[in-house]
Amino acid sequence: MQWLPYAAAAFVAFLFAASGPVAIILSVGARGGLSESDIASWIFAAFCLNSVISIAFTVRYRQPLIFLWSIPGAVLVGPALAHLSFPEVIGAFLATGVLMVLLGLSGWVRRAMDAVPMPIVMAMVAGVFLRFGVDLVLAFPEALWIALPMTVAFFVFLKVNRYVPPLIAALATGAVAIWALGAFNAPAGALFAFASPNFYVPQFSWAAMVELVVPLAITVLAVQNAQGIAILAANGHAAPVNAITTACGVGSIATGLFGAVSTCLTGPVNAVLSSTGEKPRQYTAALFFCVLAIAFGALAPFFTRGLLATPPAFIATLAGLAMLKVLQTAFTASFGGKFSFGALVCFLVTVADVAIFRIGAPFWGLVFGLAASWLLERRA
């Protein structure tokens, strides 16, 4: 039974990946006008195709190397879908993938990551994530007896229980509340279904390229991958940075054709897997995780239909709770040191969500934030 701790760690990591982050996909997709089929295809590619890459890297390097999707990238897509078509967004996914492949093969990853100060990057992240925190608050007047017990359960388990993830406690509590209130709106037709992913023909437009490619690449390299690599290093693993960047590029191209946002090296999942048991055997936990992820992706339509049949407040609460710690980290990184004025400008422009030349606010947040720091914080 020596494998049991690794299987248990994989299950905990999987529960995290399949709860709050999936709720974010559902929230972004619903707000952006995507169909149930589009969202299910996104979830299928995000779990199944990225798990294939994860298995290959985990076996090759004998360490936990789990690739999933960029959560900040998914949030960036939401506002873009208000003025770009989904095929245009997918074209940006593919272009981002090509850029990351070039950076990985050239070895210029570190130089690219250092090009934009991290406080300004995190201010953009805080700006795009803020709407999830606001939606969490708005869920209370919309459906108090769903949002309240979920939030209470989240904070109780965050405080007193180390074995049940708080998001899982919130999800289970919300499910019970929905059942007690009779608020589950069962979809027409069969609920159970296996994945039948959509293949999309991308469209390449300058508006989508300018708005999304650089911010998506930054969120993958400087936010997600940097976090994942640092976590693995803290647990004694030397992650292959250039190979990971190249894999993220290839994964972004492959998953993008099925509607999923850019591939990244995940931080929280690898943190759970790389802190369990003996270091030489931790890669087995990653393989267990991939089996669960592939099964989840194969049943993407079932989970998508089930979750979309719940009240919107349930998804808003789950996604908002998943974002709390990320928002805290983003604000601390943005305003706790150098470049704080540029970070403030970036944050305000991003939150204002005003498109200029049909190019979304996150891109302009980076531009104006960098300009403000260049003018007023050049010594930093």
Which H/E stretch holds residue 341?
helix 340-352
- Residue 47 to residue 49: CA distance in whole angstroms: 6
Rounded Cα distance between 193 and 309, Å, is: 15
Q: Which helix (H) or strand (E) holds 39?
A: helix 36-44
Task: Give the 3-state DSSP-derived string for 132-149, with helices as H, strands as E and coil as C.
Answer: HHHHHHHHHHHCHHHHHH
Distance CA 77, CA 245 (A): 21
In 10 A of CB 99, how many CB atoms? 21
Which residue reads 């049909």 in tokens?
Answer: 358
pLDDT tens digits in sequence order for the chain, 380 residues long: 577 788 888 988 898 888 888 989 998 998 899 999 999 999 999 999 999 999 999 999 999 999 999 988 998 898 899 889 999 999 999 999 999 999 999 988 777 777 778 888 888 888 888 988 999 999 999 999 999 999 999 999 988 877 778 888 899 999 999 999 998 887 776 667 788 899 999 999 999 999 999 999 988 988 788 888 888 888 889 889 999 999 999 999 999 999 999 999 998 888 889 887 788 899 999 999 999 999 999 999 998 888 888 999 999 998 888 888 878 888 988 888 888 999 999 999 999 988 787 777 888 998 999 999 999 887 76
Residue 55's φ and ψ, nearest 5 degrees, are: -60, -45
Three-state DSSP state, 195? coil
Among candidates 22, 74, 17, 70, which has minimal Cα distance to 43? 22
Q: Which two tokens stand for residue 81?
A: 């879908």
Helices 340-352 and 361-376, packing angle to 10 deg: 160
SS3 265: strand
Q: Return the structure tokens found at 29.
A: 């997709």
Each domain of the chain, given as residue ranges in start order, spans 4-328
Contact between residue 306 and residue 39 where contact means Cβ atoms under 8 Å apart: no
According to DSSP, the β-strands at 67-69 and 263-265 are: antiparallel
Degrees to nearest 5, angle at CA 34 with 33 and 36: 125
Q: Which tokens is 275 given?
A: 């802190």
